[in-house]
Chain A
C-alpha cells in the first residue's frame, strides 16, 4: 500500500541517501581539488582574521560570493580618490584591503607598493606643513618601508611570476639602496619565463653596485656562456654586457689568457 506517509518517507530517504552518498564521495574530491589549489597557489576565498577586521560584514558576503574582483576594483578606484585628496593613511589602509581581497593580482601589489615607496614617500619628504627636515626624512623612510613590506607579502602570494620579484628588486635598488638584495631579487625575476631581458643584466649591475665585483664578473661570464647564440632575445644588448665584462676584467686585473673573447659580437640591439 502506498500511503502518503510512506511515499514521502521514501522520497526523503532517497534524497538523503543521494546527498549523503554524494557527500561522502565529494569530500575526497574536494580535498584533492583544494590541495591542488594550494599547490597551484590559487588564492581561494579564504577569510583571514586580518581580512575580517578590515571589511564590513556586508562586503564580506559580497566578496565571498564570487564578486571579490569587482569589489576590489571598486575599492581601488576609491583608494585613488584618497590619493587625490592626499589622504595617505586612508589610502594605505584601503590598498592593503584591496591586496587582501585579490592577493593573486600582480597589479594591486605592484601599484600599491609603488604609491607608498615613491609617490607618498616623495610627498612626505616635501611636506610643506612640516618644517623639520629630520621628521620629513623619517616619514619618507617609513613610507618606503611600508612599500617594501607590502611587496614582500606580494611575492609570498605570487611567487610564480617575475613581475613582483622585479618590482621588489627595483624598490630595493632605487629606494632602499640595498643592491645586494636587489641583485638577489633580480636573479629570481630573471628565472621566470617572460621576464624582460634587462632583469638578467640588472643582476650584474646590482652586484657591481654592491661592490661584489668578483661575483658580478662570474655572473656576467656565466650569462655570456649560457647564451652561445647571442640571439633570439631582443633587448639583451650583448655589446653592453661585453663592455661590462671588459671593464671588470681591467678592474679585477684578470690575466689576458683568461679574458673573454668578445670580438665576434655584433650589436644585437
Chain B
C-alpha cells in the first residue's frame, strides 16, 4: 500500500529505541559536557578564543556524531536478529528495503537530534563568550575619550559580533551533519554483510580513515609520473573508485578560520556528499535483499 507509512512506522520505533539506549545517551551527555567546557581557552585574545571554540565545538560534534552513527547503526541489525523482531516485521507485507530505510531514517532522526542539541550548546558557549567580550569592550568604550579610541572600541565590538555570529557556521554544521549521515550509511551497508557488530565498527572506521586519504590515493593512481607498481596502482584504483572522498568536508576548517568560501563550491561539495549518500544507501538495500535471515 504505502511504503512511506511503513518506513515511517519503523523509523519512529527505531528512534524511540535509540533514545533509550544507555550507550548512546552516555556518549551524548559526554559530548554535551565536553562542549560546555569549550571556554577553557579564555586566556587567549578574542580572535583565538573564537577560533578555538569553533574548532573545538565542530570537532567534538563531528567526533561524537561519527562515533554515535557507527555504534548506533552497527547494532541495528544484530539487535533485530537477536531479538527476532526482524522476523516478525519482515513476515508482514514489508519489503526489505523499506525495513532497512526505516531503520536508517530512525537512526538519522536520532543523529540529527543529537547534532541539534550539540549545536545549541555550542551556540550557547559562543554567545556567552561574545557577551563577556562585548561587555568588556563596552567598558573600554565608556572609558574612551578621544575619537580614535571610541572608533577603535566600536570596531572591536563589531568584530566580536561578526566572529561570534558568522552565518557560515550554519553551513559548517550542515556539512558536519552530512558527514555523519554518510558515515551512518556506510556503516549500514557494511552491516548488511557483517556477521558481527565488531566487524561493522572496524570496517566502517577503516573506510572513514581511508576516505580522508582517498584524494591522495586518486592523485597517485592517476598521475603517471608517480612511481607505483602495478599491484599498488590496482589497489589505489580500487580505493579511489569505491571509497568516497571525505576530504570535501575539510571545507569546515576553512569556515572556522573565516576564510572565503564560495557558495557555489559549498553547494557542489554538498551535492557530492548527497550523491555518495544515495549510492551507499542503494548498495546497502541491494546487499540486504540477498541477506540470509
Contacts and interface: CB of A to CB of B under 8 A. Distances in A.
Interface of A: 4, 7-8, 10-12, 14-15, 18-20, 22-24, 26-27, 29-34, 36-37, 40, 42-47, 61, 64-70, 72-73, 77, 102, 104-107, 111, 158, 160-161, 234-235, 269
Given A18-B286, A69-B256, A73-B41, A107 B47 contact: yes
Contact of B241 (A27, A36, A65): A27
30 contacts: A4-B290, A7-B290, A11-B286, A18-B279, A18-B282, A19-B241, A23-B242, A24-B241, A26-B272, A29-B275, A30-B218, A30-B245, A31-B218, A33-B265, A34-B218, A40-B262, A40-B265, A42-B253, A43-B254, A46-B215, A66-B62, A70-B56, A70-B59, A72-B55, A73-B41, A102-B257, A104-B257, A107-B48, A111-B48, A269-B151
A4 B292 contact: yes
B121 interface: no
Interface string B80-93: 00000000000000
A12 to B, nearest CB: 7
Contacts of B209: 61, 64-65
A66 B216 contact: no
Contact of A47 (B41, B216, B272): B216
Interface in B36-68: 41, 47-48, 51-52, 54-56, 58-60, 62-63
A218 to B, nearest CB: 29
Contacts of B60: 70
Contacts of B222: 27, 31
Contacts of A105: 51, 257
B275 A26 contact: yes
Interface string B235-256: 0000011101111111111101
B212 interface: yes
Interface in B250-288: 250-254, 256-257, 259-262, 265, 268-269, 272, 275-276, 279, 282-283, 286-287
Contacts of B123: none
Interface in B14-35: none
Contacts of B261: 40, 42
A114 B56 CA distance: 24
Given A30-B272, A69-B253, 10 more contacts: A12-B287, A26-B276, A27-B218, A34-B219, A40-B261, A40-B262, A44-B247, A61-B209, A65-B212, A70-B55
Contacts of B62: 66-67
A72 B51 CA distance: 11
B103 interface: no
A36 B265 contact: yes
Contacts of A67: 59, 62-63
B231 to A, nearest CB: 19
Nearest to A22: B279
A26 B244 contact: yes
Contacts of B253: 42-43, 68-69, 102, 104
Nearest to B52: A73
A44 B250 contact: yes
Contact of A36 (B252, B268, B292): B268
A18 B284 CA distance: 10
A119 B287 CA distance: 61
Nearest to A237: B148
A65 B272 contact: no
Nearest to B253: A69
**Most chain A beta-carbon neighbours within 10 Å: one of B55, B60, B242, B256:** B55
Contacts of B179: 66
A191 B248 CA distance: 30
B289 interface: yes
Given A30-B245, A33-B248, A66-B249, A15 B257 contact: no
Contacts of A31: 218, 222
A267 to B, nearest CB: 10
Contact of B279 (A19, A34, A43, A102): A19
Contact of B290 (A12, A43, A107): A12
Given A8-B290, A66-B250, A33 B272 contact: yes
Interface string B202-224: 00000011001111101100100
A104 B272 contact: no
Contacts of B244: 26
Contacts of B240: 23, 27
Contacts of B208: 65
A24 B29 CA distance: 42
Given A12-B287, A23-B242, A47-B216, A107 B51 contact: yes
Given A23-B241, A33-B268, A269 B279 contact: no
B229 interface: no
B147 interface: yes
Given A11-B289, A234-B151, A64 B212 contact: yes
